[in-house]
Structure 1
Amino acid sequence: MFADENATWQNTVSRAQGQSVYFHAWGGEQRNNAYLAWVAEQVEAEFDIVLNHVKIRDTATSVSRVLAEKEAGNTENGAVDLLWINGENFASMKTNNLLYGPWAEQLPNFRLVNADANPEMRHDFSVPVEGYESPWLRAHLVFYYDSDYLEVPPRNMQELLRWARANPGEFTYPKPPDFLGSTFLKQALAELSTQPEALQQPVTETDFDAVTAPLWAFLDQLHPHLLRRGRTFPANGPEMRRLLADGETLLAFSFNPNDPVNRVQRGELPDSIRSYTMRTGTLANVSFVAIPFNATNPEAAMVVANFLLSPQAQLRAQDPEHLGSTSVLDPKMLTARQRQAFAAMTQSHPAALPEGERGNVLSEPHPDWMPALETAWMRRYGVN
């Protein structure tokens, strides 16, 4: 950091002292909540910032609140200082000028993500970030199975269909619009579509029926062979995981590549669990945090976002004993000691994704695709 940039940042840190940050983030997982409680302890001790985790169930609710404040003329004293955000919610806030910034690339720790070599740090579901949100965690879709009963898992959607026919009732997926259920639809569409380039454009600029036809043809064939013949679906990822743990299914998936290891270590899944990615590629994205345009304390929010990018915070986030996520930091940007610490955190576990197994990365479709796919799915298969 150049001297003037360092002085500017130190001025931000000074102004942040004594401020409070209301961080709206999903509160449905105790590990996330415990991790953010630790972050709150750290930023209070180091920066004299009070971090309040506002536990939300749906990010769209917080986005609607910011929009309502704008319509009411509240431009400086918003209820949300920092927001865990992704995809369509980010696109909506950006379109409606609800974001503070640009600010993210001014954070001292932003350089550690090495965005020039990792372009996904500057795109959120194909929408350019342009400094209006900061990376936090990385995710990609992994499948996992019980190796005591399944020796060779299906490695693409056509293999999955053949396997499901031969093993009826041994697979299912969460009902959209659950996030994981919708992710399965996008993974299948990205693999099966004959027009993959269309997925990077807004739905309104494409022929939705033509682009998605291969997906519906695939699901029409798959559903009769799912658990309960596709008449009902699990409500969410945890329910899908419990079905596997209870021996009702043999195959499941997660958007956290460390999740199978975490669950085995906690006794929630059997020791025979193994992980893999689809040979054709796997959906991947980055979780971000954003500051609303009318945040009461944007300086303190920036300091918190910078701390979330610190090697200390990222290492704890990757620890299976804590959050068990995947770091957004580029190892090449770390010291030798830091690289060693991260490497030790990801030492081989039988349930872990094998080294080099991440495979080809499939870009997330434009945010427009998620609600369009969910609506079309409900129209065709909306049961239970």
Structure 2
Amino acid sequence: MTHTLSRRNVLALSGATLATPAFAQNTAAWSAIEAKAKGQTVYFNAWGGAENINAYIRWAATEVEKRFGVKVEHVKVTDTADVVKRVRNEKAAGKLAGTVDLVWINGENFLAMKREGLLFGPFAERLPAYAKVDVQGKPTTRIDFSEPVDGMEAPWGMAQLTFMADRKRTPLPPQNLAELQTFAKAHPGRVTYPRPPNFHGTTFVKQLLVDVNANRDALYKPVTPEAFAKATAPLWAALDQLHPHLWRAGKQFPQNAEAMRQMLADGELHLALTFNPNDAANEIAAKRLPDSVTSYQFSSGTIGNTHFVAIPVNASAPEGAQVFANFLLGAEAQARKADIALWGDPTVLALDKLSPAERARFAAKPLPGQVEKSAPAIPEPHGSWVDPLEKEWTRRYGA
């Protein structure tokens, strides 16, 4: 049985959500939103840990203020869960004009906000730019960690677990879990992964979880103790087998993917990982990695998802937030974001829906470090699996 989730199953996950969307509200309604947005200040709460991403947000903010009269303030956050908590507390206190107008979000944080009624909308599929989103080829634009989006967040970019290796040291990197186990044993101390609950570390653990479960049905439903115990038993067995051969014998783990990337550059590790397929190419262009580094994904597929922007239910500037979200979704902003020299974040748009001029913005020659052959994207397990996975990993290996 194949370990990749079939397209049929992906469609089934979302039920009616993948029906033909009611693309874009009418011109008069959108014009009214733009008129009301003029003069508003949008407080965009987004991760602030990468200067290239911060620079991109500054560019987008400048353009939106210039073109639409909407001011955007980037509120830099380290953990989106803190933003969710703030919105929750403000709503509980009856604060009708909250401090968050737009938030960069997906996964368990979206699930929490959706379940608790903390989101404004549905708005996403009414944005004019949504008409060109690739809802068929990229179904995770409408399914967030197996939770139907239902128009409550607008897609912003794509991501997929990707490995990096230096061809000079590792001409034949491992292509699946079994090969990774063999490779780690043959190269003791040269393989590792970030310590969960770091996002990349948790994603690596989820990758192994889907790899060891031939039947993944339970992973795409809300977690139960029984399902968790059954699905994770082979995961813990695989990690118990892998850990003794890892960097520092699996007793310590790097704090994040950036640290791993530097260890790869220094020759301390043979493999690194990222959630951006263009990350290595970006680092090579910036001369932080040698051009002998290549990117690849497990041949049977790796965990992939979409990241989004959402508007809290008590946003002070919901119209301005929609105008900014629509700009971020447009071909100009998406092409700039996809430019490896600027960010290298893959687009959510369907290129065949774009005009020739819009498509030309995305035309670029392949660069060293890019994934040469993309593997299938395996949808994220349901967001409710994240917390118990991280807690049990910490109990077993985090001491």
Which range, TM-score by smaller chain? Answer: over 0.9
Name the counterpart of 1:42: 63
Match for residue 289 of structure 1 among 305, 309, 323: 309
Choose which of 165, 173, 180 in structure 2 pairs with 1:160. Answer: 180
* Equivalence for 2:296: 276
Conserved 8 A contact 1:175-1:234: yes
Q: Describe how 1:119-130 pairs up with structure 2 within 5 A.
A: 119-130=139-150
Q: Read off the aligned partner of 1:245 and give its amino acid letter.
A: A
Listed one character per residue, the Cα deviations across residues 328-351 of structure 1 (whole Å, up to 9, x for unaligned) are 11111111222232122xx21231
- Residue in structure 2 matching 1:214, options 211, 220, 234: 234
Structure 2, unaligned stretches of length 5 or more? 1-21
| Structure 2 residue aligned with 1:358 | 374
RMSD: 1.4
Say if 2:134 and 2:348, in contact at 8 Å, map to a contact too: no
2:366 corresponds in structure 1 to 348
- SS state at 2:363 partner: helix
Q: Which amino acid aligns with 1:94?
A: K
Read off the aligned partner of 2:371 and give its amino acid letter.
Answer: L
Paired residue type of 2:174: P
Partner of 2:46: 25
Cα distance in 2 for residues equivalent to 1:51 and 1:338: 25
| 1:369 counterpart = 2:378 | no
Q: Across the two proteins, how many residue pairs are aligned to each other?
A: 378
Unaligned runs of 5+ in 1: none
1:203 lines up with 2:219 in the alignment: no
Q: TM-score, normalised by structure 2?
A: 0.92
* Alignment match, 1:150: 170
Per-residue deviation at 1:119? 2.2
What pairs with 1:55-134 in structure 2 (closer than 5 Å)?
55-75=76-96, 77-134=97-154
Q: Is the 8 A contact 2:24 2:125 kept in 1?
A: no
SS at match of 2:42: strand
Q: Are the aligned partners of 2:331 and 2:358 in contact in 1 as well (CA < 8 Å)?
A: yes
Letter in 1 for 2:69: D
Corresponding residue of 1:6: 27
Local SS of the residue matching 2:224: helix
Aligned residue in 2 for 1:303: 323
| In 1: Cα distance, 2:342 partner to 2:136 partner | 30
Which amino acid in structure 2 is aligned with residue 288 of structure 1? F
Distance 2:67 2:180 in 1: 50
Identify which range, 8-17 or 111-120, moves more after superposition: 111-120
Find the aligned partners of 2:134 and 2:234 in 1 and give their Cα distance.
37
Query: Using the alignment, how far apart are the partners of 2:200 and 2:25 within structure 1?
Result: 45
**Contact preservation (8 Å) 2:101, 2:311:** yes
8 Å contact kept, 1:282–1:358: no
Correspondence 1:177 to 2:197: yes
Identity value in percent:
48
From 36, 45, 54, the equivalent of 2:75 is 54
Secondary structure of 1:320's aligned partner = coil
Contact 1:194 1:211 in 2 (8 A): no
User: Which residue does 2:11 correspond to in 1?
Assistant: none
Taking the aligned partners of 2:321 and 2:201, their CA distance within structure 1 comes to 32
Aligned counterparts of 2:136 and 2:27: Cα–Cα separation in 1: 21
CA spacing shift, 1:312–1:3, aligned 2, 3 Å: closer
**TM-score normalized by the length of structure 1:** 0.96
2:26, 2:61 → 1: CA distance? Answer: 26
1: distance between equivalents of 2:23 and 2:288? 49
1:210-289 equivalences in 2 (<5 Å): 210-289=230-309
Letter of the 1:118 partner, please give it: K
In structure 1, distance between residues paired with 2:41 and 2:218 = 43
Give, in whole Å, the separation in 2 of the partners of 1:361 and 1:87: 16
User: The residue matched to 2:349 in structure 1 has which SS?
Assistant: coil
